[in-house]
Amino acid sequence: MTDPLFILSVGVVIVVGGIIGLKLHPFLALLLGAFVVALLTPASVIEQYALAKGSAPAAALALSKKSIGERIATEFGNTCAKIGILIAMAAIIGKCMLESGAAERIIRSMLRLTGIEKAPIAFLVSSFFLGIPVFFDTVIFLMMPLAKAMTLRIGKNYLLLVLCIMAGAAMANSLVPPAPGPLFLIGEMHIPIGLMMIAGTIVGLFTITSGYFFALWANKKWPIELRDSLDAKLEDIKSIAAKEDKHLPALGVSLLPVLIPLVFICADTAINALYKAGDIQAFSPFVQNFIALVKFFGDKNIAIVTGGIVALLILAKQKKDNKDGLTPFVQAALMSGGGIILITAAGGAFGGMLQQTGISSRIADMTKEYQMALIPLAFLIAAVVRTAQGSATVALITASGILSGMASNANLEFHPVYLGLAIGCGSKLVPWMNDAGFWIICKLSNLTEKEALKTISPLLVVMGLTGLVVIMIGAKLFPLI
């Protein structure tokens, strides 16, 4: 009854059965699943989990004595702290870009550059390279309004565009530093950051290519129309699409809500990668102040708020004759964003309760004596951990911790970067309802849970398996030792 695998199974049945079978709202189903998982987890297991995470003995004991409600609320709050401001401001940016015509201007410019037929490829590649310096969820927030505007412009292929955005952002997030998971992985496994960036980009391009072909197939098999939503009503988008170019914001202005967060986050990432805190003291006061300014605006929350303010200013200029001001637009955006925050935070609480069962350690014990080739083993461990507890980053951390000793083995026949890449690809399998990212893409795109499970989940499986094949071929042909 206390085995983490049994508790995981019970949690899966409650969440999936509740949402699909009983038609419960995801927020309620996820909280119910978190409650049952927490109820089945012994206090001693929670204490061991906290100790394994590096907590002091007193803190670990205190966590184990917390009530179920406290533990769920803590994980719920932790998830809100990570994504609450991001989602709220991203909802405002998306609404403002749609209503002001900024998204329409970007789409028209993109179509002139790529043509209608190549628009999905442009979304795929853009989201991949955006996903390297920018968090996965931020890429989704920034790109989804463009996908909605593009669908109305070309009249088809909404699912294809959504899957292209998902494919690019997801693979960059687990393969290419300075994304958080790969950054931890290269430190744990002593892989040079430059090599991981180059190899991760190469493998990533192979995987998103396979993802693109799957997206084409899925789009033909299960075509999904763009639907009305609180923050993006179809009649409003259609009226904007009918406007002449002279009534839309200029392209440079239209890009600012996206470019400002992107530039500051990238600049902050570059500074952190190139310089330690002590190194900056050697620069002149002017350079130090400039770096301090970049780091201030490079915080993901401040960057997205800045982008939101710019988006609101653009909307205010376009709607200067509107008597009601900006309040109706902001309210509609926050009503939509608030629902996403609640569902995502509940998913974070459910995933947090699963982690406290010790599921990662259980999986590590099951696989430590597994006499399988190292690359598929690395892939398998990461895939099982990801599927069990929902976080790709936790899967990366767990698998790299298990295999770090093997990576430094002098008898290894290939460079450890291949193990790191295998872990990254394995961490993509399998996204479902215990994953906060699943809910973000599901709710922002207006796909139902069933639609998301049969399109988004297999998309990442296809890309992950493609990556495994490419990595094994690469390790054989180019061992790099």
**HEC letters along the chain:** CCCHHHHHHHHHHHHHHHHHHCCCCHHHHHHHHHHHHHHHCCHHHHHHHHHHCCCCHHHHHHHHHCCHHHHHHHHHHHHHHHHHHHHHHHHHHHHHHHHHCHHHHHHHHHHHHHCCCCHHHHHHHHHHHHCCCCCHHHHHHHHHHHHHHHHHHHCCCHHHHHHHHHHHHHHHHHHCCCCHHHHHHHHHHCCCHHHHHHHHHHHHHHHHHHHHHHHHHHHHHCCCCCCCCCCCCHHHHHHHHCCCHHHCCCHHHHHHHHHHHHHHHHHHHHHHHHCCHHHHCCCCHHHHHHHHHHHHHHCHHHHHHHHHHHHHHHHHHHCCCCCCCCHHHHHHHHHHHHHHHHHHHHHHHHHHHHHHCCHHHHHHHHHCCCCCCHHHHHHHHHHHHHHHHCCHHHHHHHHHHHHHHHHCCCCCCCCCHHHHHHHHHHCCCCCCCCCHHHHHHHHHHCCCHHHHHHHHHHHHHHHHHHHHHHHHHHHHHCCCC
Q: Is the pLDDT assigned to residue 370 strictly greater than 60?
A: no
Q: Is the pLDDT assigned to residue 242 strictly greater than 70?
A: no
Q: Is the pLDDT assigned to residue 191 strictly greater than 70?
A: yes
Reported as a single tens digit per residue, the pLDDT across 109-138 is 777 777 777 888 888 888 887 777 666 777
Q: Are 37 and 357 in contact (CB under 8 A)?
A: yes
Residue positions counted in the chain: 481
Average pLDDT over residues 329-344: 78
Residue whose C-alpha is closest to residue 213's, from 150, 124, 146: 124
Mean pLDDT across the chain, nearest whole number? Answer: 80
Range name among 47-51, 99-103, 180-184, 288-292 with the lowest pLDDT average: 180-184
Average pLDDT over residues 298-316: 86
As a whole number of Å, the end-to-end CA separation of the chain is 47
Q: Are 475 and 439 in contact (CB under 8 A)?
A: no
Q: Domain extents for the chain?
A: 83-339
Average pLDDT over residues 409-416: 72
Reported as a single tens digit per residue, the pLDDT across 16-32 is 788 767 777 778 888 88
pLDDT for res 4: 81
pLDDT for res 425: 93
Helix axes 374-389, 417-426, angle to 10 degrees: 30
Residue whose C-alpha is closest to residue 425's, from 475, 460, 473: 460
Average pLDDT over residues 58-82: 86
Reported as a single tens digit per residue, the pLDDT across 446-463 is 888 888 888 998 999 999
pLDDT bin (cut points 50, 70, 90) of residue 371 is very low
pLDDT for res 232: 56
pLDDT for res 278: 63
Average pLDDT over residues 73-101: 81
pLDDT for res 348: 76
Q: Is the pLDDT assigned to residue 301 strictly greater than 60?
A: yes
Reported as a single tens digit per residue, the pLDDT across 377-404 is 889 888 887 887 777 777 776 677 667 6
Range name among 288-292, 350-354, 361-365 with the lowest pLDDT average: 361-365
User: Which pTM does this prediction carry?
Assistant: 0.70
**For a pLDDT cut of 90, what percent of the chain falls above it?**
11
Average pLDDT over residues 83-103: 79
Q: Are 339 and 66 in contact (CB under 8 A)?
A: no
Reported as a single tens digit per residue, the pLDDT across 198-241 is 888 899 999 999 999 999 999 999 888 877 665 556 666 666 66
Q: What is the 3-state secondary structure (H, E, C) of 287-334?
A: HHHHHHHHHHHHCHHHHHHHHHHHHHHHHHHHCCCCCCCCHHHHHHHH
pLDDT bin (cut points 50, 70, 90) of residue 372 is very low
Average pLDDT over residues 257-270: 79
